[in-house]
Structure 1
Amino acid sequence: MEWRVFRGSDAVREGLLSEHQLRNSAWAHLCHDIYADARLKLDHKLLCQAYALRLPAPVVFAGPSAAHLHGVPHAATYTDDVHVIVPPNMRLAHRRGLHSHALALTPEEKTLASGLHATSGPRTAWDCAVWLELGSAVAIVDSLLALRAATRDELTDLATQYLDKPWTSRVRRVFDLSDGLSGSPAESHLRIGLITAGLPRPLVRYPVELATGRVIRPRLSWPRYKLAVEYESREARNLDVVHRKQRGHLISAGWTVLTVTSPRAHRDFTGVAREIRRVLTALGWR
């Protein structure tokens, strides 16, 4: 049972563990009758592995759960519900922590991700766009594009394929706002927040060529107004020497550079948007 996810009833029946031993701290109880070695990382993948032992074969992991399995850790955490898609004619008994969706999938929309049955990258992007709020959906699709779990052409083809669906306009908006160059989910949320606040859409990692021939790619920018916004995460604040030098080069080239720190973006986003709006207006945006 070491380093494994397993059925408690199987371990007891085979004499590997007693019911009393299952209750000690060596084993993590994940869901009904499912346990894991407590040394394993308690993340969303572990939850999916647990439910994979309980659910019938036609079921596939979907939405944020599938995104996590495709390599997007911020898509879902250990405390989030596990999302699955079941065939339209199948009904699952209600299980706490499990969110099931009765939908038809084509063979091309199913794959293996992290060793489990999951929706393909493009289908995962579609479901996240339908099920999640705008910022979270775009952040996940940004990451799927960056990982090449989905391509821009695949997303376009999928949106075209489902033109008759009532939520297609919402999905198209998520896909249009997504950008595989975004460096982190926090940057994605900042970008989408600024757009929904009514500011012009910033470009991600736009290449700014200096007179020396050197190219700098600020995280967000409005080249027409020579305004760049750099997002500074809490972890990077003492390690950002390179980016600080790049900001100096941009300023020397006539750009205005604003720095948005992670704490401020979370505590005072309205103030951040107001400041960027004020600077853009001063630079000629109307």
Structure 2
Amino acid sequence: MVKKIVLNPRLNDVFRGSAAVAAGFVTKAQLQGPRFRRLFQDVYVRSDVKVTHALRCRGATLRVPPEAVLTGRSAATVHGVKLAKPYDPVEFVVPETSRFGPVAGMRIRRTNIKPGESKPWANARMARPIRIALDLIFRHTPRLRGTVRRLRTAVPDLDMFLRRKKIKIDKLKVECRHRRNWGVRLGRIALEFVDTKAESHPESELRVVMQCGGLRPTTQLNVHENGEFIGRLDLAIEGKKTAVEYDGRVHETAAQQLRDKKRRQRLAKAGWKFVIVRAEDLASDYRTILKRIQLAGARA
């Protein structure tokens, strides 16, 4: 007769497989069957539980040493700023003296951690908001060659997190000024690019591309004609009357396309030129986007 998996309430959440087997709540064969899903080595959850990044973060704390600190995109996602997808690596920082890692499904970084920069969470620790913001900068590896590429990743993360958590930029700048972490120079530059008015990650990335190309766009510009509001622009080069907008999946619906068309027609009558950027454009050479914007400005 197969034992029912209802003996221990802890099995309704993430749990260590070895501990559950030792306590007699489940057998090794049951762990390998369809009732459970493995999140990490020796960490499981019932197969009917929806896997989110926050769930995997909790599961990961069952494997890390108690001094490990959840941070970066993982901690931001737990805070409600969804920067990590469900199966993205769970990000931790550990003291430089720690010998923990590597672990499949986790991203472990060794660095200095001040005592007040984290608090207890689940079975480990969670970075406080200031430290999360810093680690969103410091998390980038040397594989991301070039300042532009790093800024295109770091700044949108910061935009989204700071927009939600209301952290003062000046405080972050002071923190960066006194740090010696790898990537701190990039951090100081990134903080000069931050704009919490950005409404999406790709929009932030597009703004960074423009700024790195020497342009200074205005974010979320409300346009009025003869005292009447006629539309809002994602990014605008006001002197050239050039609007630059990112059209993601939400713009693919017929209703949204109709709204976009009407709004852009009103703005075009007022002299605005549009450059529409899509995901495939951002994925290609960013200099192509800059050329399109410059050409539109010349026509204006």
TM range, smaller chain: 0.7 to 0.9
**Which of 271, 275, 278 lines up with 1:258 in the alignment?**
275
| 1:115 CA displacement | 9.7
Residues 183-198 of structure 1: pairs in structure 2 closer than 5 A: 183-196=199-212, 198=213
Query: Structure 1 CA distance, aligned partners of 2:229 and 2:293?
Result: 26
Q: 1:204 is aligned with what amino acid?
A: T
Query: Structure 2 CA distance, aligned partners of 1:112 and 1:191?
Result: 37
Q: 2:47 is aligned with what amino acid?
A: A
Question: Structure 1 stretch 234-243 or stretch 169-178: which is displaced more?
Answer: 234-243
- Structure 1 regions of 5+ residues with no counterpart? none
| 1:229 CA displacement | 1.3
Question: Counterpart of 2:64 in 1: which secondary structure?
Answer: coil
TM-score by length of 1: 0.85
Corresponding residue for 1:172?
A: 188
Q: 2:198 is aligned with what amino acid?
A: S
Q: 2:138 is aligned with what amino acid?
A: V
Residues 68-79 of structure 1: pairs in structure 2 closer than 5 A: 68-73=77-82, 75-79=83-87
| 1:264 CA displacement | 4.1
Query: Structure 2 CA distance, aligned partners of 1:144 and 1:210?
Result: 34
Query: 1:210 and 1:153, CA in 2 relative to 1: closer, same or farther beyond 3 A?
Result: farther
Query: Structure 2 CA distance, aligned partners of 1:179 and 1:41?
Result: 34
1:100 equivalent to 2:77? Answer no
Query: Structure 2 CA distance, aligned partners of 1:227 and 1:5?
Result: 51
TM-score by length of 2: 0.82
Q: 1:103 is aligned with what amino acid?
A: T
1:85 equivalent to 2:85? Answer no
Identity %: 27
Query: 1:204 and 1:3, CA in 2 relative to 1: closer, same or farther beyond 3 A?
Result: farther
Q: 2:210 is aligned with what amino acid?
A: L
Query: Structure 1 CA distance, aligned partners of 2:63 and 2:28?
Result: 19
Corresponding residue for 1:15?
A: 24
Query: Structure 1 CA distance, aligned partners of 2:240 and 2:47?
Result: 54
1:41 equivalent to 2:56? Answer no
Query: 1:116 and 1:70, CA in 2 relative to 1: closer, same or farther beyond 3 A?
Result: farther
Query: Structure 1 CA distance, aligned partners of 2:124 and 2:230?
Result: 42
**Which of 164, 167, 170 lines up with 1:153 in the alignment?**
170
Q: 1:181 is aligned with what amino acid?
A: K
Question: Over aligned residues, Cα RMSD in angstroms?
Answer: 2.7
Contact 1:220 1:230 (8 Å CA) reproduced? yes
Query: 1:114 and 1:136, CA in 2 relative to 1: closer, same or farther beyond 3 A?
Result: farther
Query: 1:27 and 1:216, CA in 2 relative to 1: closer, same or farther beyond 3 A?
Result: same
Question: Counterpart of 1:214 in 2: which secondary structure?
Answer: strand
Query: 1:60 and 1:166, CA in 2 relative to 1: closer, same or farther beyond 3 A?
Result: closer
- Structure 2 regions of 5+ residues with no counterpart? 1-9, 141-149
Corresponding residue for 1:244?
A: 261
Query: Structure 1 CA distance, aligned partners of 2:28 and 2:166?
Result: 42
| 1:252 CA displacement | 2.4
Contact 1:70 1:114 (8 Å CA) reproduced? no
**Which of 62, 73, 76 lines up with 1:64 in the alignment?**
73
Query: Structure 1 CA distance, aligned partners of 2:173 and 2:263?
Result: 35
Question: Structure 1 stretch 98-107 or stretch 34-43: which is displaced more?
Answer: 98-107
Query: Structure 1 CA distance, aligned partners of 2:122 and 2:238?
Result: 40
Corresponding residue for 2:145?
A: none
Corresponding residue for 2:152?
A: 135
**Which of 133, 138, 150 lines up with 1:125 in the alignment?**
133
Question: Counterpart of 1:259 in 2: which secondary structure?
Answer: strand
Please list the CA deviations of residues 208-267 of structure 1 after superposition, one character each: whole Å capped at 9, or x if unmatched: 233233263311111121111121112322232444333223222222222223344445
